[in-house]
Structure 1
């Protein structure tokens, strides 16, 4: 499923719900519908940039944790491992981060699911 982020400050940003979820959870936002108000954009930028920097410091641990989350859950224990993703968290977060920078500068909200 896709999520489209909208703001009057930038072009729309569309990403897979699975990838947006990680970013939105950092911001304590619902993945299905929500808004990052213009007042919240500055703090959102700081939080996402900190997560991007952390993912660059510990790229292997991020991949391992994702593999654990995917294959060891409540319903099944699957020991087959997925191919390692080549797209980093920072690359996935970049378009939304750029939108947040523009929204912060122009004092605009960022919305999704509306």
Structure 2
């Protein structure tokens, strides 16, 4: 399932729920529906920056495998098996962190699931 984070301050950020779950757990937010107010954006950004810094200290525990990237065959067809790519938490969190910075600067909320 996809989660679409929306804010008037920046373009939407789409994430698979399984990838967004770690971020939302850190922020104590529900994946079903939620809001990060402008007042909460600064603290949310701090929490995510702290987690990014922590994962950089222990990179061997940080890697997630992205199996949603389809493998393309020579004739343009998509293979049944997806190719696993290594994706770090900082890479997953970056788009939402940028959205948080923008929302905080422009005094806008971030919403999802509505």
Q: Which runs of 5+ in 1 are unaligned?
A: 68-82
Mapped to 1, the partners of 2:84 and 2:47 lie a distance apart of 25
Deviation at 1:2, TM superposition (A): 0.5
Mapped to 1, the partners of 2:33 and 2:87 lie a distance apart of 25
Which is strand-richer, 1 or 2?
2
Mapped to 1, the partners of 2:85 and 2:47 lie a distance apart of 23
The answer to which structure, 1 or 2, has the higher relative contact order (CA under 8 A, 6+ apart) is: 1
Which is helix-richer, 1 or 2?
1
Residue 111 of structure 2: aligned partner? 111
Normalising by structure 2, report the TM-score.
0.79
Normalising by structure 1, report the TM-score.
0.79
Q: Which runs of 5+ in 2 are unaligned?
A: 66-82
Q: Which runs of 4+ in 1 moved over 3 A?
A: none
Please give the per-residue CA displacement for 1:1-59, whole angstroms capped at 9, x wherever unaligned.
Answer: 11000000000000110111100100100011000011000000000010011111111
